[in-house]
Amino acid sequence: MCCFLQVAEALVRKVLSPPTQKTKLIEAKETDIDGRAYYTFEFTAQAPNFTRHALGTITIANGKFYTLATGASERRWDKMKDRLHTIVDSFKIETKV
């Protein structure tokens, strides 16, 4: 799990947020679905005028790295968070046959 935390922090800081924003990883967890590991994380990214509260999930399948990220402004987070969790929790990758 410790390696995943480092990967999640790097993704949040270097890929999912502009380098000018201050980021904070709030939570990270690993879930096994049909034998595949999915790593889900929650973070905030603070810009000068607003803060974005976001969720992401990553997995590796078919020799590729897949990620999904979604979020809302901090002001709308309480209203949107259940919907956004539903979106992230629905993320599944099919294995090629």
36 and 62 in contact (C-beta within 8 Å)? no
Question: Which residues touch 74 (CB under 8 Å, ≥6 apart)?
Answer: 44, 50, 51, 52, 53
2-89: which CATH topology? Protein Transport Mog1p; Chain A (3.40.1000)
Please give the full DSSP string across 29-93, using - where no structure is assigned: EEEEETTEEEEEEEEEEE-SS-EEEEEEEEEEETTEEEEEEEEEEHHHHHHHHHHHHHHHHT---
Taking only the tens of pLDDT, the chain with its 97 residues reads 567 788 888 889 899 999 899 999 999 999 999 899 999 999 999 999 999 999 999 999 888 999 999 999 999 999 999 999 999 999 999 876 5
Q: How many CB atoms lie within 10 A of CB 50?
A: 11
Tokens 């924003």 belong to 21
Q: How far apart are CA 70 and CA 29, in angstroms?
A: 16
pLDDT at 95: 74
pLDDT at 7: 84
